[in-house]
Amino acid sequence: MVNNQVVLDLQLACKNLDGLPSRKLFKSWMRGMFSTYKKKIELTIRIVDAKEMRYLNWYYLGKNYPTNVLSFPFVPPSGIKSPLLGDIVLCRQVIEYESKKRNVPSTRAHWAHMMIHGSLHLLGYNHLLDEEAILMKQTEISILQQYGYQTCCYT
């Protein structure tokens, strides 16, 4: 058994909170995601509306539309150790829209998928090259299946 501690700062910055995964569920997903780590992990998950996500996507990536998830890894100053991995921003409307559009049986599965996707970015995974995308997708599927989600939105 690995003894790790996950410290989660969950920020609910969207108008409608109905139907969002609970803090307990996010924390459970995070514990599973980082179960092999033997050290303390800290991160922020911020759930936002489309307007804020559109701004963040435009400001940081130059894309003028809301996206499902953005990740912001924390890089500590040289010589400083920190358990902080970074921030994951999730857009409620985009995640719910994608779930309906792709006929995902459980919107929770898509929330878990986007949290996993964002976490993998914090760990250095990427999908810019085909090889990277394949590895990231395989890792996402494996973790989702560990949570009991057989399928999600593997596009």
pTM to 2 decimals? 0.89
User: What is the per-residue pLDDT for 2?
Assistant: 45
Q: CATH no. for residue 37?
A: 3.40.390.30
Give the number of domains in the chain.
1
> Does 153 reside within a domain?
no
**Most confidently predicted of 44-48, 105-109, 127-131, 137-141:** 44-48
CA distance 91 to 36: 28
Say if CB 112 and CB 70 are below 8 A apart: no
Say if CB 59 and CB 70 are below 8 A apart: no
Q: Which helix (H) or strand (E) holds 112?
A: helix 107-122
CA distance 115 to 123: 12
> Does 151 reside within a domain?
no
Strands across the sheet containing 6-13: 6-13, 41-48, 84-91, 69-73
pLDDT tens figures, 62-108: 999 999 999 999 998 999 988 999 999 999 999 999 988 887 777 88
